[in-house]
Amino acid sequence: MTDLSQSPAGAAPRKHGGSLLEQTPRTKKRNAAEARFRAYGIAAITAGLIMLVILVTTIVGKGTGAFQQTFVTLNVELLESKLDKKGNRNIEDIKKVTTFGYAPIIKGAMTAAVEELGIETGLKPKELAGILSKDVAAQLRDYVIANPDQIGQTVEFRFLASSRVDGYLKGRVTRDSIVNDKNISAEQLDLVDALAAAGVLEKTFNLDFITGADASDARPEAAGIGVSMLGSLFMMLVVLALALPIGVAASIYLEEFAPQNWLTDMIEVNISNLAAVPSIVFGILGLAVFINYMHLPTSAPLVGGLVLTLMTLPTIIISTRASLKSVPPSIRDAALGVGASKMQAVFHHVLPLAAPGILTGTIIGLAQALGETAPLLLIGMVGFIASNAPETLADGLLAPNSAMPAQIYEWAKRADPAFYERAWGGIIILLIFLVTMNTLAVILRRRFERRW
Q: Pick the residue with more confidence: 13 or 193?
A: 193
pLDDT at 14: 53
Q: Confirm whether 218 is domain-assigned.
A: no
Measure the CA–CA gap between 128 and 117, rounded to whole angstroms: 14
In a shared domain, residues 183 and 231: no
> What residue type is assigned to position 3 of the chain?
D
What is the side-by-side strand order in the sheet with 68-77? 154-160, 68-77, 201-205
Q: Which of 136, 170, 205 is the last residue of a domain?
A: 205
In a shared domain, residues 156 and 279: no
Q: Which of 147, 172, 205 is the last residue of a domain?
A: 205
> Of 163, 209, 168, whose CA–CA distance to 427 is shortest?
209
In a shared domain, residues 192 and 238: no
Q: Confirm whether 5 is domain-assigned.
A: no
Q: Is 332 helix (H, G, I), strand (E, B) or coil?
A: helix
In a shared domain, residues 175 and 256: no
In a shared domain, residues 251 and 120: no
Q: Confirm whether 54 is domain-assigned.
A: no
Q: Confirm whether 361 is domain-assigned.
A: yes
Q: How many domains does the chain have?
A: 2
Distance from CA of residue 271 to its chain's centroid?
Answer: 28
Q: In CATH, what number is assigned to the domain containing residue 337?
A: 1.10.3720.10
Reported confidence tier of residue 385, pLDDT bands at 50, 70, 90: low
11: left (phi over 0), alpha (psi -120 to 50) or beta: beta
Q: Confirm whether 77 is domain-assigned.
A: yes
> Of 390, 244, 369, whose CA–CA distance to 304 is shortest?
369
392: left (phi over 0), alpha (psi -120 to 50) or beta: beta
| pTM metric for this prediction | 0.83
Residue 181's domain spans which residues? 64-205
Q: Which of 175, 205, 235 is the last residue of a domain?
A: 205
Q: Confirm whether 166 is domain-assigned.
A: yes
In a shared domain, residues 180 and 294: no
Q: Confirm whether 105 is domain-assigned.
A: yes
Q: At 303, which helix (H) or strand (E)? A: helix 301-326
> Bridge partners of 156?
75
In a shared domain, residues 152 and 246: no
Q: What is the pLDDT of residues 209-238, one digit of tens each?
A: 998 888 888 888 888 898 899 989 999 999
Q: What is the mean pLDDT of residues 20-49?
A: 88
In a shared domain, residues 231 and 311: yes
Q: Confirm whether 275 is domain-assigned.
A: yes
In terms of Cβ atoms closer than 10 Å to its own Cβ (0-12, 13-18, 19+), residue 235 is buried
In a shared domain, residues 168 and 232: no
pLDDT at 383: 61
Q: What is the pLDDT of residues 111-144, one digit of tens each?
A: 888 888 888 888 888 888 888 988 888 888 888 8
In a shared domain, residues 287 and 201: no
